[in-house]
């Protein structure tokens, strides 16, 4: 998993970078097929914004969060991304369309 952390109107310190890396280890624990993760941290006047674009096989997942505290915004971002990754993983593992050969044929009576 490639993780890039960048900041707009914000200097990304080693403490912030290690905090983000520690939080995103949870994402890798749930789903290890993440290809690329790009985190952008932005500071507006009174709000801190964190957004992430996560590239997985065949799809890009985008999540953003706002909070007055940057660390709280990162926590909220990781929680939202974790839920989206779990939902994506469940969709991959679900097989709603079984082949017709696995269904009982209509001319055979059901076994009771």
What's the chain's average pLDDT? 86
Q: What size, in residues, is the chain?
A: 112
The parts of the chain modelled with pLDDT lower than 50 are none
Q: Which domains does the chain have, with CATH numbers?
A: 2-91 (3.30.160.100)
pLDDT value at residue 54: 92
pLDDT value at residue 38: 94
pLDDT value at residue 39: 95
pLDDT value at residue 102: 64
pTM: 0.79
């Amino acid at each position: 998993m490639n993780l890039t952390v960048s900041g707009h109107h914000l200097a990304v310190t080693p403490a912030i970078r290690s905090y983000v890396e520690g939080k995103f280890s949870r994402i890798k624990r749930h789903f290890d097929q993440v290809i690329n993760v790009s985190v952008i941290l932005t500071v507006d006047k009174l709000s801190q914004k964190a957004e992430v674009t996560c590239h997985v096989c065949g799809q890009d997942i985008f999540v953003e969060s706002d909070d007055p505290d940057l660390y709280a915004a990162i926590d909220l971002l990781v929680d939202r991304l974790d839920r989206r990754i779990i939902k994506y993983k469940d969709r991959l593992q679900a097989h709603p369309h079984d082949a017709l050969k696995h269904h009982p044929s209509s001319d055979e009576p059901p076994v009771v």
